[in-house]
Structure 1
């Protein structure tokens, strides 16, 4: 179903002028934020928490001074595949992390049985009406739990697709509210439809704003918008989605999933793979110019290469100029980079089986 949703969004984005009367749209559809939920995970904790003082005081945070907040995309939830991947990646790692999964699915509403017109309106509502209010709600939560837990000094917000823009908006609102920057905002293939001229992600969202691009021109935003932007392989179609699509369909239990949607969701798995592995990238400033021409994005040869992968792979740099991306990225990293990761599955390893078990047992 999510594939059908996003496939439609790619088409409907071309007629977004029809729905740009956002004031009318937002006045017609109310946005209630009481149903934004938070679940805390540590190695010893799995519990829902709220902005209430008693809830935060008794939350049993890990001793770490770092908290990671993950925000799902449109049509997702705190227990969808991406959220489970992030959760397992952090919780099964060596360190004990404070991980908070946000669930705003009740705000955007149930979308499984919507027709295409209703779906278009619902997505427009999510972008123009829900996004700012959900972002403000999460900022209030962050401010409150930092006040209740003074030992936590660092906040890292991660979002995928629509959730990536929410993460960016959170960073901007947090600075406006407190005068301080979040430590890091990570945008995983931020949504492209309806954000072409107004992305919520920019280098001022946090001290570090890293963006992983995995499906530009389709479901993902094309241009560099962070302090560091990483384009995976050709930036459009991920090789693991071509070679392992049958396995992906089995894993996600979605028979209609296609290569493009798989590539969009791969941004999450690349980040998860980086938690226990050192994924590297090399500088390729040429991407900034290349993505301004659709021909450079969409024209592929028989080896799944476009102008981006051909140009960047041919550049010769010393290993000293390579960077580590994902979880272990240096906060001093800036610029546009190209990462050649031909087989995501060899990094993810047994993750697919673990997540299938987790999804079915909901632990």
Structure 2
């Protein structure tokens, strides 16, 4: 495993880290504590030292599993969690320092940790980024010894650019992959100038970039890939990166012609992301140990060639850009 600096946190994190949205089972299939702990332990065994969770993942079960495993290990493992998505309705007015403070304190109890390495605002409405009192709260929480670092998880580039104007924001979690390339235009440049750690989520476009889906693929009734393609439950950019499923399949089929010896495109898709030095780490999820191993192996691949990168970009321009680029 290779490690990179997480911006001005100063923390060195594994290039391939672990996201735990579906770590205890597939989306919509319930949470399996034993499976979650197996995957998290295996990740740490393989050199992963940064784990991302959230209070809303399986109603806190993900946070609790991460906390149990990390507290049982001797290695130094950094835990990032998120707050804000419990607010219902999820609107700007629901965000207050008092509400967010309670969520942070609940996450401390849930993980069993005395201090959170990184707390992230969990994709709040855009208006929240224009309210200094929300960000000031986290300075007080740091002074109280409850958190070490503040970050944000964003949907839109505008939100990321606004967030990093606050000096205490040290990381930005963002969707970035072969099918979501807009961060390259301005955000990466600004993040580099301000020494912001970039945490990449949805790196495989909800599995689309594995190359394993087809027109006949089906998803569980409670799987967001079934019910959220048009944003019925939350931002549609979280599901297949906002790419219409059939369009994504066409683009993936062309990607397969660039990498004909790859039955599983996931490691290539992750390697493409790692080829950008602005990225601190990637947090792919894993519902099986095999998925975890596939993801971790991506760090051992050589960088893509210039010809391969041009071909990937051509596919983005041909199939994907008109559907996603202007939206986020």
Instruction: Report which structure shows greater RCO (CA 8 Å, sep ≥6).
Output: 2
Q: TM-score, normalised by structure 2?
A: 0.37
Q: TM-score, normalised by structure 1?
A: 0.34
